[in-house]
Structure 1
Amino acid sequence: MGTAEECGRWIRKLGSTGDPKARLILFPHAGGSANSYFQFARGFGELDVRGVQYPGRQDRRHEPFRDTIEELADEIAELIGEWNDLPVVLMGNSMGALVAFEVAHRMEARGNAASALFACGRVAPTLRKDEGTHRKGNDAFLREMALLGGMGHELLQDEEMLDLILPPMRADYRLAETYCASPEKRLSVPVHVHIGKADPKVTEAEAAEWKLSTTGEFTLDTHDGGHFFFTDNGDRLTDSINRSVDDVLAVNP
């Protein structure tokens, strides 16, 4: 298990209660930070909510990017893999869903499995989806960002901010677009997939392929909205996570 300093660099507290009944760990999208989940975390009054801060951005901008999803997952799992004081639920959006999947796999291999994995806005791990976005020039890359709706128009026009945002975003896209899991890599924990109906990056059929990545329970829910549906329309996702925790506690009070 990592030191307190290492945990603090990687895992940020986003919300908590005096006596949490479970821990929710949130994995950001490409280019995202732990704080991208700040508003979403407010919907979990009875959970200890943590967000993962990948290297190469914000206060970690001087640290090198990692080369693969697996490398990221190795370091994160090393830090949280021995947490056993509370049930742990993992949730990732877009690239974060892939990192969360790999972390869940490592936790399970350690004998300290997560209680559930929530994967949002991403095709199944076995479906490599390399659209070459990370190799595009800045103008084409920014058009892609505008299509997804994760960045405001004003931000896309701010050259100083783009100098800070584009490098980690491009590095993360490279990780996601070059990743593909073996069909043999399966979890045994429940996997719950949530996508926006208007998401241009994942179809319902592609999301349904996540069912092959677990031998446990599988659910697929669609929501109004796009790639970041839960920022404006996340109540059903929040309810689903809270129900999942209640189900775990009902079996293991």
Structure 2
Amino acid sequence: MATTRDFALWIRQLASTGDPRARLICFPHAGGSANFYFQFARGFSGLEVHGVQYPGRQDRRHEPFRNSIEELADEIAEFLGEWKDLPIVLLGNSMGALVAFEVARRLESMGNPPLSLFACGRVAPTLRKDQQTHLKGKDAFLREMALLGGMGHELLQDEEILDLVLPPMRADYRMAETYCAAPGTQVSVPIHVHLGRTDPKVNEAEAAQWKLSTTGEFTLDTHEGGHFFFTENGDRLTGAVSRSVEDALAAKP
């Protein structure tokens, strides 16, 4: 059984409310940390918001990277599966959407399914692009980072910062780029897909394939912005998550 200390390593509270109706669990992109969602989390009321901290970065930088999305999901689901006092909603961006999907599968099999899954900025789990970013040299890898806009220009020029962030980023890219769910792999929870109109990593047709990954409700929404659209334009996503929770709770007997 997971210990309290282990739980605190993996799951970080970002925002709380006096009487939460549900918990929103946010899964970061490749190279990202739980705190990436700190500002986003402050836009909610009525929800307790948490971010997942993957191993190998920041205060967990001395821990080994995981080898696959599935392995990462196994460990996260162990913690979340024991958390039954409030309904859970999962939200992931980019690689985090894949981790969230695999966690949703595991929570369903444990009899504790989430209310819904929000997948942002990622092609469907059954689509695997022929990308080898994790194998590129440093300069080419940094150009990929600049294209996505996940790191500021000044950080991309700071060698000390790069020495810290590049290893987990490359390890995460390897997991994401070697992952592909088998055809027919599905959950029954609703999947709500959101993406930026100028996202260089995924187009609307690729995002629409998420509908094959659920037997439940499916929605697809586009927003102004790129791969990290909700960092500057997140009000619509915040509203969509909040409405989804309210609708799901209202529908419960």
Cα deviation 1:78-120 (Å, max 9, x = unaligned): 0111211111000000000000000000000111100000000
Q: How many angstroms apart in 2 are the aligned matches of 1:188 and 1:45?
A: 27
Alignment of 1:23-34 (within 5 A): 23-34=23-34
Give the whole-Å Cα distance in 1 for the aligned partners of 2:251 and 2:67: 39
Aligned to 2:252: 252
3-state SS in 2 of match to 1:250: helix
Alpha-carbon distance between aligned partners in 1 of 2:247 and 2:153, rounded to the nearest angstrom: 41
Deviations 1:181-213 (A, max 9, x none): 012210001000000000000010000000000
Q: Which moved further from structure 2: 80-89 or 166-175?
A: 80-89
Rounded Cα–Cα distance in structure 1 between residues aligned with 2:29 and 2:215? 26
Equivalence for 2:156: 156
* Alpha-carbon contact 1:130-1:178 (below 8 Å) kept: no
Match of 1:75 in 2: 75
Per-residue deviation, 1:52: 0.1
TM-score, normalisation: structure 1: 0.99
One-letter code of the match for 1:29?
H
Query: 1:104-146 CA distances to partner (integer Å, 9 max, x unpaired)?
Result: 0000011110000000000000001241100000000000000
Q: Distance in 2 between matches of 1:82 and 1:164?
A: 33
Task: Provide the secondary structure at the position in 2 that maps to 1:249.
Answer: helix
Please give the alpha-carbon distance, in whole angstroms, between the structure 2 residues aligned to 1:203 and 1:17: 36
Q: Distance in 2 between matches of 1:215 and 1:106?
A: 16
In the other structure, the counterpart of 2:235 is 235
Structure 1 gap segments, 5+ residues each:
none
Opposite residue 147 of structure 1, the aligned amino acid is L
1:49 corresponds to which residue?
49
User: C-alpha separation between the residues in 1 aligned to 2:107 and 2:82?
Assistant: 8
Rounded to whole Å, the distance in 1 between the matches of 2:100 and 2:129 is 17
Question: RMSD over aligned Cα, in angstroms?
Answer: 0.8
- What is the aligned length? 253
1:44 CA drift (Å): 1.0
Q: Measure, in 2, the Cα distance between the counterparts of 1:105 and 1:189.
A: 9
Q: Secondary structure at the match of 2:56?
A: coil
TM-score (norm 2): 0.99
Identical pairs, percent? 77
Deviations along 1:32-75, one digit per CA (max 9) or x if unpaired, are 00000000000112111000000000000000000000000000
Equivalent residues of 2:23, 2:50 under 8 A apart: yes
Structure 2 runs not aligned, ≥5 long: none
Q: Which runs of 4+ in 1 moved over 6 A?
A: none
Alpha-carbon deviation of 1:248?
1.4
Contact kept? 2:184, 2:212, Cα under 8 Å: no
Counterpart of 1:93? 93
| SS at structure 1 position matched to 2:232 | helix
Matched residue of 2:225: which SS?
coil
